[in-house]
Amino acid sequence: MTPHRLDRVVARRVAVRAQLLDAHRPTDLRAVVDRLTFLQIDPTAAVAPNADLVAWTRLGAGYRPDDLVRALERERSLFEHRAMIRPMADLGLHRPEMSAWPTDARRRDWLAANAGFHRYVLDALRDAGPRLSRDIEDRSVVPWPSTGWTNNRNVTQMLEFLAARGEIAVAGRVGRQRVWDLAERVYPATAAVPADEARRLRAERLLRSLGVARPTVVGDAGEPAEIEGTTGRWRVDPAALDGTPFAGRTALLSPFDRLVHDRVRARELFDFDYRLEMYVPKARRRWGYFALPVLHHDRLVGKVDATVDRRASVLRVDAIHPDVPLTPELTAAVHGELAALASWSGLRDIRLPAGPA
């Protein structure tokens, strides 16, 4: 079919609205996760845990982290799998991938060599119920070899592998530690969607959450598009081109937010240059340890270097790095979002940098 021809303003607005970052805020956490298809889990909490920060950016002051805990642990409307929180309604779309895992010889061989350890973990959970990793004995025959942090972390690796296979699941958390149980006691009885259909549906859902994306990300989902000022092929969700007027707002984004997660796409659509710098030596950082991208209507306009100081009950803003001139309107909007973030975080004060920002 003839590709849709989009200018970059339209493409940006499609992307912003698809990620629920326009002025029409959602009100339900489960609907947010269903639309985004997942919330990424990351242990970094310089401002807030990523899943909570992404949810707050969409839902605003009405969102509380306990809402996510309740959906995961009591309602079971969401599930945690491989560092992602997903709608339980999508479980059948992930069953084929679980059944086929692992696809590489190294992991298959390690599991085969530790078949007895595999059986022991399942038996221990079946008999004793949900357990932390520290409660499970290391009965590996062959240790897990790695040049990284997972070297010889045999219990952790076995639990990760069995979760990837859908044999066990995260039943909850104690602090940051995962509580493991048999998958049959966490997941509802759900038939696997045939693998080809599951891939197609997942790609379609992913494109709906992004609005526009490269075929390398979403395959043949949606319809072809060309975007002004870019080269190569795009795919667009046709439902996003319904002519609905766009109304934007200002938002502070997590560095892991899917509006900016694809750094190449962020440059192509938004002229936005960004790098997560928490692994960069302090002297070489341009924007800060966990700088928050700033969305203003349909533009990414800068980064805010902020951290939460729980002991002092302060949101510390070390710098605001603008990518566009800081007009009084934009400055007020950014300061308003910082105040909202501090309030949501339960902090008493904000400390802004000296200067015009």
Assign residue 170 the CATH number of its domain. 1.10.10
List, for residues 54-106, the tens digit of each pLDDT value: 999 999 999 999 999 999 999 999 999 999 999 999 999 999 999 999 999 99
The CA–CA distances, whole Å, from 55 to 43, 231, 261, 275 equal: 16, 33, 16, 22
Is the pLDDT confidence value at 160 over 60?
yes
- Out of 185, 205, 220, pick the residue that ends a domain: 185
CA distance 240 to 244: 8
Same domain, 50 and 95: no
Task: Quote the longest CA-to-CA distance of the chain.
Answer: 66
Q: Across residues 41-52, what is the average pLDDT?
A: 94
Same domain, 101 and 143: yes
Sheet holding 4-6, edge to edge: 4-6, 223-227, 234-236, 212-213
Q: Please report whether residue 203 resides in a domain.
A: yes
Same domain, 328 and 204: yes
CA distance 257 to 265: 13
**Which tokens sit at 77?**
């409307």
Is the pLDDT confidence value at 356 over 60?
no
Same domain, 168 and 312: no
Measured in whole angstroms, how far is the alpha carbon of residue 355 from the centre of its chain?
A: 34
List, for residues 182-224, the tens digit of each pLDDT value: 999 999 999 999 999 999 999 999 999 999 999 999 999 999 9
List, for residues 126-143, the tens digit of each pLDDT value: 999 999 999 999 999 999
CA distance 287 to 279: 13
Same domain, 231 and 341: yes
Predicted confidence at residue 151, as pLDDT, reads 78
Same domain, 312 and 332: yes
Is the pLDDT confidence value at 148 over 90?
no
Is the pLDDT confidence value at 299 over 90?
yes
Instruction: Give me the long-range contacts of 217-225 (CB less than 8 A, separation at least 24).
Output: 217/262, 223/1, 223/3, 223/4, 224/1, 224/3, 224/4, 225/3, 225/4, 225/5, 225/6, 225/11
CB contact at 8 A, 324 and 299? yes
CA distance 210 to 37: 10
Query: Can you say whether residue 203 is alpha, beta or left, with left for phi > 0 and alpha for psi between -120 and 50 degrees?
Result: alpha
Is the pLDDT confidence value at 147 over 90?
no
Same domain, 209 and 273: yes
Q: Please report whether residue 151 resides in a domain.
A: yes
Tell me which residue range forms the domain holding 168. 91-185
Task: DSSP letter for 184, please.
Answer: G
Which amino acid is residue 234, in one-letter code?
W
Q: Please report whether residue 190 resides in a domain.
A: no
Q: Across residues 272-293, what is the average pLDDT?
A: 96
Same domain, 140 and 276: no
Predicted confidence at residue 357, as pLDDT, reads 54
Summary mean pLDDT of the chain = 96
What is the tally of structural domains in the chain?
2
Q: Please report whether residue 127 resides in a domain.
A: yes
CA distance 196 to 214: 20
Q: Please report whether residue 234 resides in a domain.
A: yes
Helix (H) or strand (E) holding 8: helix 8-18
Helices (H) and strands (E) in the chain, counts: 12, 15
Q: Please report whether residue 107 resides in a domain.
A: yes
Q: Across residues 248-272, what is the average pLDDT?
A: 98
Same domain, 163 and 72: no
Predicted confidence at residue 92, as pLDDT, reads 98
Q: Please report whether residue 53 resides in a domain.
A: yes
Same domain, 269 and 235: yes
Same domain, 259 and 132: no
| Alpha-helix runs per DSSP H in 28-114 | 29-36, 50-59, 65-69, 91-100, 105-113
Q: Please report whether residue 123 resides in a domain.
A: yes
- Out of 185, 217, 246, pick the residue that ends a domain: 185
- Out of 150, 185, 220, pick the residue that ends a domain: 185
Same domain, 212 and 166: no
Is the pLDDT confidence value at 238 over 70?
yes
Residue 352 phi/psi, 5-degree rounding, is -90, 155
Query: Structure pTM?
Result: 0.95
Predicted confidence at residue 353, as pLDDT, reads 85
Predicted confidence at residue 150, as pLDDT, reads 80
